[in-house]
Structures are given as C-alpha cells and as structure tokens.
Structure 1
Amino acid sequence: MIVAFSVTPLGIGEDVGEAVAAAVRVVRESGLPNRTDAMFTSIEGEWDEVMDVVKRAVDAVRERSNRVSVVLKADIRDGVTDGLTSKVDSLERYLSGDQTPGGRAGG
C-alpha cells in the first residue's frame, strides 16, 4: 500500500518547518520507501508498518504542538511493490508518447 499524508501543527505560528521536519525524520528513519514533496510525504509498505510510521510521525509533531491536523490518502492494492516508482514511471511513459499495451516501454 501507498499512503500519502500531511501532518501540520496548529497554533504554533506560521513557521512549522521544525515540527514537520520531525515527522519526516520519523518516516525516513523507518527504512520504508518514501518520498516527500511540498505538500505530502508518501510511504510504501504493509498496512501495519505504514500506519505505525504515520502514527509515530504524528506523535513527533504532537510533541511540538498540542493540536495537529492530518490529511491521509491511501492506495491499498495487494501484490504491488515498488509502487512509488512504478506508478511515476508509467505516467512518464505516457507523457513521452510511448503508450504501448501493458504500459511497458517497447511492448
């Protein structure tokens, strides 16, 4: 499964970078495949391990703020591994004009 989530501390002012960095640090130290962009952190793994990391990331922010907002989106699909990379690779093939059947470059 892939989970994209955002954890935002509330009530600590406009500069939330330190609190958000604490959450991202938890994700990166988990050892699970992950990617962070300006809006979300995505993490890939089995349900229990991913949700444990999300909880620990939220807890890291809660240590810095008594109120936290969490946005979470999950793609739950059995048998898929390396989805963080393969989904983007598939999209890039379409963008490059290679729309061969089965989604593989060169057929």
Structure 2
Amino acid sequence: MIVAFSVAPLGESDGVAEAVAKAVQVVRDSGLPNETNAMFTLVEGEWDEVMAVVKRATEVVQAEAPRVSLVLKADIRPGHTGELAGKVDRLEQHLR
C-alpha cells in the first residue's frame, strides 16, 4: 500500500516546519520507501508497518502542539510493491 499523509501542528504561531521535519524524520528512519513533496509525505509498505509509521510521525508532532491535523490518503493494492516509483513511471510513458 501507499499512504500519502500530511501532519501538522495547529495553533502554532511560529510556523510548522520544525515539527513537520520531525515527522518526516520518523518516516525516513523507518526504512520504508518514501518521498516528501511540498504537500505530502508518501510511504509504501504493508498495512501495519505503514500505519505504525504514520502513528509515530503524528505522535512526534503531537508532542510539539496541543492539537494536530492529519490528512491521509491510501492506495491499498495487496501484492504490489515498488509502486511509489512504478505508478509515476507508467504515467511518464504516456507523456512521451
């Protein structure tokens, strides 16, 4: 499965980058395939391992703020791996 998620502290007047960086570090330290863009962090793996990473990332942000926003979108496709790059590769083939 691939999960795209965004987690951020709410009510923080000094910006969110530091707290979000801590969440992204959790994802990177997980060892699962991942990427981060301007809006979301994507992580690929099995259900339990991906959701555990999302939970830990959310918890590190929650340690920084009394309220947290979490947006999550999942592509659940059992038996498929390497889709973080594979989906983009197939799209690019149609753009050539």
Fold in common (TM above 0.5)? yes
TM-score normalised by length of structure 1: 0.88
Distance in structure 1 (CA, Å) of the matches to 2:61 and 2:88:
29
Question: Mind listing any 5+ residue stretches in structure 2 that lack a counterpart?
Answer: none
Residue in 1 that maps onto 2:29: 29
For each residue in 1:6-53, what CA deviation from the matched residue of structure 2 results, as whole angstroms up to 9, or x when unmatched?
001001115110000000000000000001000000000000000000
Distance in structure 2 (CA, Å) of the matches to 1:13 and 1:53:
26
Distance in structure 2 (CA, Å) of the matches to 1:11 and 1:27:
23
Residue in 2 that maps onto 1:7: 7
Deviates further, 6-15 or 46-55: 6-15
Structure number with greater CO (CA < 8 Å, separation at least 6) is 2
Residues 50-69 of structure 1: matches in 2 within 5 Å?
50-69=50-69
Distance in structure 1 (CA, Å) of the matches to 2:81 and 2:32:
11
TM-score normalised by length of structure 2: 0.98
For each residue in 1:47-72, what CA deviation from the matched residue of structure 2 results, as whole angstroms up to 9, or x when unmatched?
00000000000001001001000000
The ranges of structure 1 where at least 4 consecutive aligned residues each deviate by more than 4 angstroms after the TM superposition are: none
Q: How many residues were matched structurally?
A: 96
Residue in 1 that maps onto 2:95: 95
Identity of aligned residues (%): 66
Distance in structure 2 (CA, Å) of the matches to 1:13 and 1:82:
39
Residue in 2 that maps onto 1:77: 77
CA RMSD of aligned residues (A): 0.7
Distance in structure 2 (CA, Å) of the matches to 1:45 and 1:58:
18
Read off the aligned partner of 2:36 and give its amino acid letter.
Answer: T
